[in-house]
Each structure stands twice: as C-alpha cells, then as structure tokens.
Amino acid sequence: MNAVSSTRAICVAVVGVGLVGSEFIHQLLAFPTPNPFRIVSISSSKATLSSLHGLSLSKSGWKSDLTNSSATTSKQKVSDLVSELSALVTPGQKVILVDNTSSQEVASEYPEILKAGINIITPNKKAFSGELSLYEKILKESMDSGARFLNEATVGAGLPIISTLKDLAATGDKVLKIEGVFSGTMSYIFNEFSTVQGGGPSFSSVVRIAREKGYTEPHPADDLNGADVARKLTILSRFIPSLLSSLPSGYLSVSTRSLVPKELEDVDSGDEFVRRLEEFDAEFDKMREEAFKEGSVLRFVGVVDVASGEIKAELQKYPFTHPFATSLGGSDNIIMFHTERYGARPLIVQGAGAGAGVTAMGVMSDLLKLV
C-alpha cells in the first residue's frame, strides 16, 4: 500500500504551461513513488485538462493531451477553476493552485482562492509587489481560512531568499539591511560592462548581446527601467513587520533609478531601442571610468534599509574587494542580509537567479513544504 493513499493525495491544479510551468510539471511527474501529489487540472491560455479524480499524465504526452483537449479556457477560467477546486477542500484534504503565469488577472484572484481554503504557490510577482490593499486582502484571507501562500520563486528563482528572511525573523534575529543584485539581466550586463580590469565593451553592445542570448526581455527597457528589482524589494520588505505598510503603491513606491535614457522612454520597438542606445554609450563610459578611478565597479542593486525605511533600486559603486565585484559571474544573483546576529559578516546567498529549471525548483520546494 502506498504511504499516501489516493484519497488523501494532495490535489494540485497548475495554471500556466510556459517555460517555468512546463518544467514544473516535468519535475512533478518525475517525483519518486509514492508521489504525494495528484494533478487535477492543467490550464494554458487556450485549453484546459481537468479531472477531480486525478489526471493520468505522462512526461512525454501531457502537452499533446492539453493541446488536443476539447475543453477551451474561458475568460472566467480562474473563478470557474476556484469553484471546482473548492469542492475538493475537506478536512484533511489539501488543495493547491500553482500559478506559473505572470498574469495580473490571476494574481487579483488570490484573496478569493485563499478564502476558499485553497493554498497558493507561485513565482508570479504581481500580487505581492502591487497595491498594498491587495496584499492586505491576501494576508487576511490566508489567516482566516488557514490556506497558505508560498512565493519563494518570486525573488531569486530557486535561491532560498524569502525562506531565509522568514527564518531570520521567526528565530528572533533583527534584520538591519538587505542589499543585493536581484536581477539576472542587470547582473550579466554590469558583470560584462564594469570589471576590476577597467575598460571593456560599450554599454549598448553588452545590452545587445544580452538580448541575443535571451537574458533580457524582448524590449530591454523592461529590464533597464529597474521595475523588476523594485518588485522584488517590495516583496521582501513586506515580510519585515516595520516595513509592511511602507509601500502603498507597491513597486511604484520604490525609489528607482531607471537606466533608460529619457530620449528613449517612448521607443516601442526593442530593435530600435538597442540601435539608438549607442547614442548614449559615452555617458555610460564616463560613469564606468569614474568608478574605476575610485577603485570601484558599477552594479545595479536593490537595498532595503530597515532603520531608515529607505527602499531603493539604483546603480551604485562597489570597491574592487567587495563581493559584488569579486564573486559575481554571468547572470548570478547575490543577496546580503545584514542582521544583529550576522553583524560583522553578513549572511550571503548567491547563485543562478533566473532560468526555467531553477525557478521551477523554487516552486517545487514550496510545494514540498505543504506535504
């Protein structure tokens, strides 16, 4: 007999089957026997597979099964899915919705999902980095229903950033400051552009190559504007009680220095943006040269200063001896926790902060916390 009976297997509904969603399903189907999870629904933007008794899926065939499904995804897909899943919520039966989208529409439904007693696991940053009012509703419904929301993969992909922050707070340590390179895209760009050797390629060429390698969004301005870093800072700050209400408009309330030249802010085409970015290479070269003369490199960082309440995302200079100058490579993330316990030497978490494999791992690790 299996250690987990089929009637008590944890019911999992997966929304979103893009790169991360597909990798997550692959990891879930590869889980060793006895698998404590039963997939009851898979939804893409176009089609849905569902069976409240559990879907029979194979690692090689689930995608074609979804594509060939006669059940199309309706505009009311989230509320309809919640209604179906709520019927499974009974004492001793856990139900989990895994949101692998980046959809604001799905994120806005989190309070209702939690209210129905359905747990949420997600790499979607929208609900936790937007308006404070939505986040407060999520907290309230989670507390009232007992359903949990876990979002490790919203910051640092599979890196233990949020869980580390939670553990520090839960064990009574006092967080003084969090600072780090939170964007894999920005990490790659400045690791290539500003080094301890000085000089180097032009800023526009580094951005162009990063785009060609798939490190940036199709429109690089969506990375260079700093919004992604601001969202991650918002998420972290809301796990610090004294800062919970400090960002009423979420990431829009974060002090953010965009690296998008004002003259290019209205350029709609990613190709045109990269081409015209060359016009501003001299300005970036000057900043790099000034930093090098001071014995520093340039890094785009996020900082949460708990004492002052300052939360900012900006380009800063770091000495050649600093970990942000010596330890980073490729598109790594690196986050430093300055706390009372980790005073003289901060706690550092570093590693790949982007990619479908590690992001799906972060989602999977959250799922295992509910077993």
Active-site annotation holds for 115: no
Q: How far apart are CA 270 and CA 264, in angstroms?
A: 11
Beta-strand ranges (E) seen in 143-222 are 149-150, 175-181
Q: Do the annotations mark residue 244 as ligand-binding?
A: no
Q: How many CB atoms lie within 10 A of CB 131?
A: 16
Q: Which of 77, 126, 137, 232 is labelled catalytic? A: 232
Q: Strand 119-121's sheet: what is its strand order?
A: 48-50, 37-43, 10-15, 95-99, 119-121, 149-150
Instruction: Please state, in angstroms and as integers, the Cα–Cα distance from residue 308 to each residue in 170, 234, 245, 299, following that order.
Output: 22, 15, 14, 22
Q: Do the annotations mark residue 18 as ligand-binding?
A: yes
Q: Do the annotations mark residue 19 as ligand-binding?
A: yes
Q: Do the annotations mark residue 16 as ligand-binding?
A: yes
Q: Are strands 175-181 and 332-339 parallel, antiparallel or unpaired?
A: antiparallel
Q: How many CB atoms lie within 10 A of CB 142?
A: 19
Tokens of 217: 């969004």
Residues annotated as part of the active site: 232
Q: Which residues define the annotated binding site?
A: 16-21, 101, 125, 217
Q: Which residues fall in the annotated binding site for NADP(+)?
A: 16-21
Q: Which residues line the annotated binding site for NADPH?
A: 101, 125
